[in-house]
Amino acid sequence: MSGFLTNLYKYVSALAIIFKYFCTKISTMSFQKLKPEIKAILESENLSVDHRLSQVCEVLKENIPYYDWVGFYFKNGDKDELKLRSFAGEPTDHTIIPFGKGICGQVAVSNKNFVVPDVKAQTNYIACSINVKAEIVVPLFLNGENIGQIDIDSHTPDPFSKEDENFLQWVNERVAKVLS
């Protein structure tokens, strides 16, 4: 019986790896297809910058199945806090986040991508919704300075890969061009 269970465990683990591999492949294809659309939105000079950022959030949320909330936070003036500027998804109470608090606040001081496969495993985490299982935050640099970030919440456990990080870095580089 235990041999059967061991084999079953191995089989399910192998299936999970294959499933994740194909999900990553599909995401990479989606990212490549989305890039021209995002570029066009950000270069639409007839739209306000806030409108462009909101549209980018909307396009990401609608096209990537595991992106359930997408938002841009920026440093709030000269305060050591982040302020939510644009988002797509359920409204959040956390429109202001002090530096160091939660995943977002930690990225404001670390200047590094933060991928959270399981939010329950984090102690310094600010919950926005009970449905959120995973989160990714990628800092946004302007002239080498960390001025904000893109934050994505997912209702899917452990959905993010290196491809998400690369894609979101690309999005942030494009956004920085608009803000410069």
Q: Where do contacts with ligand SME occur on this chain (CB under 6 A)? A: 69, 71, 92, 94, 97, 102-105, 125-126, 128, 135, 151, 153
Q: How far is the CB of 102 from ligand SME (least distance, A)?
A: 3
The residue (of 102 and 139) whose beta carbon lies closer to ligand SME is 102
The residue (of 88 and 104) whose beta carbon lies closer to ligand SME is 104
- Residue least distant from ligand SME (Cβ): 102
E strand map for the chain = 69-75, 81-88, 96-98, 114-116, 134-142, 145-154
The residue (of 105 and 148) whose beta carbon lies closer to ligand SME is 105
Q: How far is the CB of 1 from ligand SME (least distance, A)?
A: 43
3-state secondary structure of 163: helix
CA 166 to chain centre: 11
Residue type, 153: D
The residue (of 69 and 160) whose beta carbon lies closer to ligand SME is 69
Q: How far is the CB of 150 from ligand SME (least distance, A)?
A: 11
60, 70 in Cβ contact below 8 A?
yes
3-state secondary structure of 11: helix
Q: How far is the CB of 87 from ligand SME (least distance, A)?
A: 7
In whole angstroms, give the CA distance from residue 139 to residue 173.
10
